[in-house]
Structure 1
Amino acid sequence: MASVVSTASRKVFSNATSRLSLLTSVSSREKSSNEGKRRRDLINHSRVRGIDILRNPKLNKGTAFTVKERQLMGIHGLIPPVVRTMEEQTVRVLTNFRKRSSDLDRFIYLISLQDRNERLFYKVLSENVEDMMPIVYTPTVGQACEHYGIVFRRPRGLFISINDRGHIYDILCNWPERNVKAIVVTDGERILGLGDLGVYGMGIPVGKLSLYTALGGIHPAKCLPILLDVGTNNKKLHSDPLYIGRQENRVTGPEYDDFVDEFMHAVQRRYGSTCLIQFEDFGNHNAFRFLEKYRNKFCTFNDDIQGTAAVAAAGVFASLRITKKKLIDNVFLFQGAGEANIGIAQLLSLAMQEEGATEAEAISKIWMVDSRGLLTKERPSGGISGHKADFAKDFKHMNNLEEIVEELKPSAIIGAAAVAGAFTEKVIKSMGKYNERPIIFALSNPTSKAECSAEDAYTLTEGRCVFASGSPFPSFTINGKTLYPGQGNNAYIFPGVALGVITCGVRHVPDLLFLRAAQRLAELVTDEHLAEGRVYPPLSDIQEVSLNIAVDLAEYCYTNGLASAYPEPDDKEEYVKSFMYTSEYEIFEPETWEWPDKA
């Protein structure tokens, strides 16, 4: 019997391999469909047999392989004889996940699962978003980055060093997937609120792209995390024996700029002009420069600037349904004037202008505080440059946030400068004193860097504030009412934006796309959500949110000439769905294979 199975198996796989040449004859329409992709995958998979299948996370199903699949693929006996469904495997994963003693251990467990069984990882993540997103991304990913030398098991993505200048395209060609559509890149200089972590920052692109797939349905084979290693100014890492990058100070100036420029052109040459490049956690001094330099030349955006802006703006838009104010009737005070807050301020200004305000009127409603105090045109601590200057006021200089709140009486205060506890008891009480429903957004990550806790915000305003945070806080009961803090997580925005951009073949990503995404996200907040204190939909709904944003952006892109994928689909929702990844296992039994026709 064994010899018969072996002979049949060899014949099946020999025939499959002989048909590889048919790939070149697959029609262009078929290439754009999921069915065509599945057929090509099955043909390619036929070249892998035996233990290599179990070592390949894209193919491995563990105990879910049927007996026939095990025999035909040469893995019979290499795994336990029991056959489990994906649902049964999920129970095992969740049991293991919950038995871990710390969030960092849970992070390591999930990453190990991703390295073993990709589809099961995404199945569990997408069905348990509220429990697992804080583990694979903020806040736990920050902890993982800090300990990346210990956490590091198996390289994911590409590590491109400044020493590789002149050869970046060759390195991109080493990546096995040729149809990459989304890249998240960092140089590790400003990881969350933790500072310069150098190569240890690779956890951010990896985690971000996991959410591209789990929340936005973008196929993992189309996603590529990249770390640009130009060194680190973190002296602690220079002497860290576990550090996996260049233990030298950061390269800056023209050499650094030329390196990034070569990278951008190499990506475009390798993957085309519609490959999305998301900049993540670059230093403030570089983030704005690169956004302005590349936004009209490449398909690119900066999530720390534009993604944060969109999710915060969406929270503000939803909050207006609680406060009963128009956007232009608010006074916004920002704690911090870095890339996140500048991005939020710019988007709010754009939204006010769309509603009919002049640019000067919109800017007059926005005040900013940085490490040297209120942004004023003649402050004694020195001049104000770059995008900060747009928001500097003709006003007396002040440097104490508590006094500034008393003076300006803002209706909304937004923090994103990673200054833990910046919203003191006096600040919060003042917000409650001058506003019936004050807006308090403590957006800094991780939780240890938050400007205040949800409990403090609710308690000190007698439960009247509209609160949102960057990291998750538990529900809080006050005056007999349970409130659910909104988590202003960029994951509400970037998966949907990326899905819309990729499916429509957008070549440049204007700010108006992020404003549209913010407006659509705010529309998805129901009256029931608002009654619970939420200004964002529950995280459990986030896949549906991403689809809604992508479809809305598709309509906008085709209407406004931003799309390059033609012909224009009549049903945008079905069109977007046709690109989305499914975590269900593939079937590798020969009678289910459908070969592409030669014609």
Structure 2
Amino acid sequence: MATGGDQDVYGEDCAAEDQLVTPWTISVASGYTLLRDPHHNKGLAFTEKERDAHYLRGLLPPAIISQQQQEKKLMQNLRSYEVPLHRYMAMMELQERNERLFYKLLIDNVEELLPVVYTPTVGEACQKYGSIFRRPQGLYISLKEKGKILEVLKNWPEKNIQVIVVTDGERILGLGDLGCQGMGIPVGKLALYTALGGVRPSACLPITIDVGTNNESLLNNEFYIGLKQRRATGKEYADLLQEFMTAVKQNYGEKVLVQFEDFANHNAFELLSKYSTTHLVFNDDIQGTASVVLSGIVSSLKLIGGMLADHTFLFLGAGEAGTGIAELIALEMSKQTKIHLEETRKKIWLVDSKGLIVSHRKESLQHFKKPWAHEHEPCTTLIDAVKAIKPTVLIGTSGQGKTFTKEVVEAMASFNKKPLIMALSNPTSQAECTAEEAYNWSEGRAVFASGSPFDPVKYNNQLYIPGQANNAYIFPGLGLGLVMSGAIRMHDEMLLAASEALACQVTQEHYDKGMTFPPFSNIRTISANIAAKVAAKAYDLGLATRLPRPEDLVKFAESCMYSPNYRIYR
């Protein structure tokens, strides 16, 4: 059977590909097999003509229902579920049955469905992945595949892969080591690459690298789907990752984007620094979080006043997210003021489990914490650090809920007219404080943003809309920008470009409501603008391979985006 249609309408088929494919040359299944193929199944939307042409007579009830009607019915069904996990399972089942309808639903109802397919619900899904496991999604590469990883990649049916999201499941959100069950994260992230960034689903590949787990409850669970052994470390781990990265480049070429997701701190930093010079790699926990938070800070300046360099930052949490954000803030500050990076870092302070990171602790610190060890008296608690440093911006990346106490928020409000408080840990249960607490304890003066969504809060008859510093604002557009420019390496300047592009999307109307991020309902336009700025930077730095450079990068980004509308078959 052939798919028909106008090449221009389906521009995503040629998005960032070297060979243009005219849709009517693609042959797919017919009859019963067609109804079981999620890429081409339209359910009751097949027309009379299509039912005759493709042997579907009798295989479907007689009614013909449009994609819009299907969407309306499914949204009614989803809203009838009271348990978020049931909504998640219904969405995953839809993705396996009718891919275009899944993405249509997600794009048209992004604010409602984002928390279902991504944080916070995806966290619970990963915890229960073994018991809700129906049909495998993505590729599982375990220690058993050592020496055969290239063959395993060749087992994946799609050959033209542009984006890989890979995890080893050791640090899933704030939930810890979930081993093989971490697959929910790459699957969810790539759904967002398509829905929010327009990267074609067939160009996306979720991968879980299973090197075992140190989670006792999983090791003792008879239904656990992964390797039942303790985590491999050291040379065994490094060798498997080396083989994987080599095989990826060999199979998919120089331009495939590999996004590292939810690796433990020590591995995350090492993998990023090791492969950033040889591969196109990105770590969302370190770089994506940093980029979206920097954007939120830049746009918050309109509400709290001053330039970036006028502010003092205090972090609770000095892992990959905390140090990644701190470094990007220092870079942007350095870029704006022309002051050396080592100097701008001194405006930023970090608190870890042992207290404020200060210079006399330098010898015992992990390498990624050392740039943040400044001269100061020791402070063992967060409240002591807040009182001593008197920050204007307080950022939580600790993975520990309820750590921004009433005393901490009141202290921030005592020496700041408008304190900026960002409780970024996911899922919601791990947030350092809630939006309601931040507004109440600061008498409505705080500018607040979080990692997971919070509902608007009424305080003193005024409605406050909390910002959500969600990585989903950044990585889909960033990925599209890298893919459409044919970038071969990632650069920090691309992250700064993405941050600035996102901050520019916040309008005066949003500021009037206390918002520091634009609404998600506009995410595809936001992603196209981010992609254009990232691609422009790739061209400027000489890292782009798609030549000649398109004249209008925003228009080009929009033309590359996947459309979930049904095709006409003939």
Please indicate the TM-score interval, normalised by the length of the shorter structure: over 0.9
1:370 correspondence with 2:370? no
Question: When the two structures are aligned, how many residues end up with a matched partner?
Answer: 560
State whether residues 278 and 303 of structure 1, in contact with CA within 8 Å, keep that contact through their aligned partners in structure 2: yes
Structure-2 residue corresponding to 1:161? 142
Structure-2 residue corresponding to 1:20? none
1:420 correspondence with 2:406? no
CA-to-partner distance for each residue in 1:382-417, whole Å, 9 max, x for gaps? 711211000011211111111111111110000011
Aligned counterparts, 1:221-370, within 5 A? 221-356=202-337, 357-370=339-352
What is the Cα deviation at residue 570 of structure 1? 1.7
Structure-2 residue corresponding to 1:143? 124
What is the letter of the counterpart of residue 106 of structure 2?
L
SS in 2 for 1:355: helix
Structure-2 residue corresponding to 1:213? 194
Moved more, 394-403 or 279-288: 394-403
SS in 2 for 1:214: helix
What is the letter of the counterpart of residue 349 of structure 1?
A
What is the Cα deviation at residue 82 of structure 1? 0.4
Alignment equivalent of 1:72, drawn from 46, 53, 62: 53
1:39 correspondence with 2:22? yes
What is the Cα deviation at residue 519 of structure 1? 1.0
Unaligned runs of 5+ in 2: 4-12
CA-to-partner distance for each residue in 1:519-564, whole Å, 9 max, x for gaps? 1111111111112111100111111111110112222222331211
TM-score using structure 1 length = 0.91
CA-to-partner distance for each residue in 1:350-397, whole Å, 9 max, x for gaps? 0010012222321110100001111112249x7112110000112111
Distance 2:361 2:139 in 1: 45
SS in 2 for 1:45: coil
What is the Cα deviation at residue 37 of structure 1? 5.5
CA-to-partner distance for each residue in 1:42-62, whole Å, 9 max, x for gaps? 43434x121110111001000
Structure-2 residue corresponding to 1:467? 448
| RMSD of aligned residue pairs (Cα, Å) | 1.6
Structure-1 residue corresponding to 2:538? 557
What is the Cα deviation at residue 297 of structure 1? 0.6
SS in 1 for 2:153: helix
Unaligned runs of 5+ in 1: 1-12, 18-29, 590-599
Alignment equivalent of 1:519, drawn from 500, 510, 532: 500
What is the letter of the counterpart of residue 244 of structure 1?
I
What is the Cα deviation at residue 332 of structure 1? 0.3
Distance 1:480 1:109 in 2: 38
Distance 1:391 1:237 in 2: 36
What is the letter of the counterpart of residue 577 of structure 1?
E
Distance change >3 Å, CA 104–CA 52, structure 1 → 2: same
Aligned counterparts, 1:412-451, within 5 A? 412-451=393-432
Distance 1:310 1:493 in 2: 7
What is the Cα deviation at residue 348 of structure 1? 0.3
SS in 2 for 1:58: coil
SS in 2 for 1:378: helix
Distance 2:134 2:27 in 1: 25
Task: Report the identity percentage.
Answer: 47
Distance 1:452 1:227 in 2: 32
CA-to-partner distance for each residue in 1:154-212, whole Å, 9 max, x for gaps? 11110001111110000000000000000000000000000000011000000000000
State whether residues 15 and 484 of structure 2, in contact with CA within 8 Å, keep that contact through their aligned partners in structure 1: no
State whether residues 377 and 384 of structure 1, in contact with CA within 8 Å, keep that contact through their aligned partners in structure 2: no
Distance change >3 Å, CA 211–CA 564, structure 1 → 2: same
State whether residues 397 and 424 of structure 2, in contact with CA within 8 Å, keep that contact through their aligned partners in structure 1: yes
SS in 2 for 1:398: coil
Q: 1 or 2 for the larger relative contact order (CA 8 Å, sep ≥6)?
A: 2
CA-to-partner distance for each residue in 1:40-98, whole Å, 9 max, x for gaps? 5x43434x121110111001000000111111111111111100111010111101100
Distance change >3 Å, CA 486–CA 152, structure 1 → 2: same
State whether residues 290 and 325 of structure 2, in contact with CA within 8 Å, keep that contact through their aligned partners in structure 1: yes
State whether residues 366 and 391 of structure 1, in contact with CA within 8 Å, keep that contact through their aligned partners in structure 2: yes
Structure-2 residue corresponding to 1:27? none
What is the Cα deviation at residue 242 of structure 1? 1.7
What is the Cα deviation at residue 575 of structure 1? 2.1
Structure-1 residue corresponding to 2:10? none
Aligned counterparts, 1:116-135, within 5 A? 116-135=97-116
Distance change >3 Å, CA 32–CA 549, structure 1 → 2: closer
Moved more, 208-217 or 382-391: 382-391
Bigger CA radius of gyration: 1
Distance change >3 Å, CA 33–CA 536, structure 1 → 2: closer
State whether residues 107 and 140 of structure 1, in contact with CA within 8 Å, keep that contact through their aligned partners in structure 2: yes
Distance 2:536 2:236 in 1: 41
Structure-1 residue corresponding to 2:527? 546
- Where in structure 1 do 4 or more consecutive aligned residues deviate above 4 Å? 30-38
What is the Cα deviation at residue 255 of structure 1? 1.0
State whether residues 469 and 517 of structure 2, in contact with CA within 8 Å, keep that contact through their aligned partners in structure 1: yes
SS in 2 for 1:105: helix
TM-score using structure 2 length = 0.96
Distance 1:213 1:138 in 2: 17
State whether residues 142 and 211 of structure 2, in contact with CA within 8 Å, keep that contact through their aligned partners in structure 1: yes
Distance 1:339 1:379 in 2: 19
What is the Cα deviation at residue 579 of structure 1? 1.8
SS in 1 for 2:323: helix
Alignment equivalent of 2:565, drawn from 584, 588, 592: 584
What is the Cα deviation at residue 296 of structure 1? 1.2
What is the Cα deviation at residue 574 of structure 1? 2.6
Distance 1:552 1:328 in 2: 24
SS in 1 for 2:39: coil
Distance 1:572 1:473 in 2: 34
State whether residues 410 and 431 of structure 1, in contact with CA within 8 Å, keep that contact through their aligned partners in structure 2: yes
Distance change >3 Å, CA 323–CA 416, structure 1 → 2: same
Structure-2 residue corresponding to 1:570? 551
Distance 2:555 2:85 in 1: 39
Distance 2:140 2:27 in 1: 27
Distance change >3 Å, CA 172–CA 544, structure 1 → 2: same
Structure-1 residue corresponding to 2:185? 204
Moved more, 336-345 or 392-401: 392-401
What is the letter of the counterpart of residue 348 of structure 2?
I
What is the Cα deviation at residue 31 of structure 1? 6.0
State whether residues 189 and 195 of structure 1, in contact with CA within 8 Å, keep that contact through their aligned partners in structure 2: yes
Distance 2:410 2:271 in 1: 40
